[in-house]
Homo-oligomer: A and B are copies of this chain.
Amino acid sequence: MDLNDRKKKILQAIIDEYIGTAEPVGSRAISKKENLGLSSATIRNEMADLEEMGYLIQPHTSAGRIPSDEGYRFYVNSLMQDYKIGMDAVAQLQNMLESRVSLLEKLIRYAGAIASNLTEYTTVISAPKDDDSEIKKIDVVAVESHTVMLIIVTRRVRSASVNVNLSGEGCERLAQILNKSLAGIKPHEVTRGALDKIKDGAKGFIKESALDKILDCLYDTVTADAETEIYVTNADSILSYPEFADVEKARGMLSFLDDKEKLKKLAAADTGEGINAKIGKENDFEILQDSSLVSMNYTLPSGGAGKLTVIGPKRMNYSKVFASLDLISNEIEKLVKYYMNGS
């Protein structure tokens, strides 16, 4: 059986209502609220049909209906109205973006905060993955009498400090040697062997113990995996939804949001284009099966890629979330273009 126009309207009305109230929706409420000119009895018949078709669920005999996962899915695919984001919110967003971002990669973090501001749901954003470009330069700077700072520049900057005594001149000579042998290769390609050679070249003018320390530290820093950074914003907003009135559920969700490993998996999955919703059981993680995620993958011109995800109850305001992500993506794209113009 296909959904006729009336059924669609009724389903939409039910879902819209339920999104707002989190209470099962009765036939009377729909017949009163909507201008369909239908009595509650008729609505009831239609609702029974919709339930049979799998779009609605009746929690118990004497309650109204709530949408099933399939109901939400149909809503998201076909029924949802476009949401208009207020001009002031847009202005605020633009303001936020322009004023605070000097470094493109940093912008990503703000994007997460902005998304949770706009949508009022929790957001998870993964920072761009390290794209593993070659070492451009290595610097060695004596910071204090017994501290030397190592700086390794690729597309991003790594640094580490070592507690050894080294003169400014020593630093410079060491830096020269390091650059000669390491500049141009990729961080993870640095081998112990290469460092041993450097050691041979430098031990003439640096104490061996100090040199060991420095090279150890360099090796550690250079080979340390760039952990995909994950930022979670507005996590405790989940506590404001009746869906999480049960403390145990809330706890489960919050510890999920604390588990970087799981969030990384989340960020790594489904790298398709555009904005996508995962509703209830469509999610792989057990704990998310009562929630919905809406996510958007992004790519920076530098090659970095990541994902912005909004997490909320299944009855989330999908249209608003979609519109927000869309807006953010557009605004950021504009900004990126603006940045690139300097080239």
B164–A151 touching, CB < 8 Å:
no
A143–B151 touching, CB < 8 Å:
no
**Which of B157, B165, B210 is A159 in contact with, Cβ under 8 Å?**
B157
Given contact pairs A143-B155, A236-B258, A240-B251, a sample of 17 additional A-B residue pairs in the complex whose CB atoms are under 8 Å apart: A102-B160, A104-B161, A136-B141, A136-B149, A137-B141, A141-B153, A143-B153, A143-B154, A146-B340, A146-B343, A151-B153, A157-B159, A163-B341, A165-B343, A209-B342, A239-B254, A244-B247
Give the shortest distance, in Å, between A150 (CB) and chain B (any CB).
9
Greatest chain B CB density within 10 A among A139, A165, A236, A340 is at A236
- Interface residues, chain A, with chain B CB atoms under 8 Å away: 102-105, 133, 136-137, 139, 141-147, 149, 151, 153-157, 159-165, 209-210, 213, 217, 220-221, 234-236, 239-240, 244-245, 247, 250-251, 254-255, 258, 302, 339-343
A302–B144 touching, CB < 8 Å:
yes
**Which of B142, B146, B221, B234 is A342 in contact with, Cβ under 8 Å?**
B146
B146–A136 touching, CB < 8 Å:
no
CB closest residue in chain B, given A254: B236
Give the shortest distance, in Å, between A317 (CB) and chain B (any CB).
20
A212 to B217, CA, bound (A): 36
A318 to B103, CA, bound (A): 44
B251–A236 touching, CB < 8 Å:
yes
A161 to B343, CA, bound (A): 13
A103-B161, A145-B343 are known contacts. Are A247 and B239 too (CB-CB below 8 A)? yes
Give the shortest distance, in Å, between A292 (CB) and chain B (any CB).
21
